[in-house]
Amino acid sequence: GQNIDQPTEMTATEGAIVQINCTYQTSGFNGLFWYQQHAGEAPTFLSYNVLDGLEEKGRFSSFLSRSKGYSYLLLKELQMKDSASYLCAVAGFQKLVFGTGTRLLVSP
């Protein structure tokens, strides 16, 4: 089976940096995805990590440690539009298993 944990909710201030953690226990691992989902909308792809280390893409970075079963999504220079839910998903054999998501609220 697979167990994925991420915080339910986080708050941060515009311009700040926030780190959203995700821990997982899986029977099979083929990489880890992060998706962003604004309220009432579909999830959209942010990042994919399959090897250990940091992947940087603009203001967003994602880190993976396979030995620790741990990932984080780092958001820099927060903007109001970054208020959304962030979903961590582990790729198993042919399927994704999603965590329950972290709701991020960015305030002025």
Number of residues that bind other proteins (CB under 8 A): 23
Residue span 2-41 as binding mask against other proteins, x where in contact by CB under 8 A, dash where not: ----------------------------xx-x-------x
Burial class of 87 by CB neighbour count within 10 A (0 to 12, 13 to 18, 19+): buried
CB of 50 to other proteins, least distance (A): 6
Q: H or E stretch including 52?
A: none
C-alpha 19 chain-centroid distance: 9
List interacting residues with other proteins (CB under 8 A): 30-31, 33, 41-45, 48, 50, 87, 89, 91-101
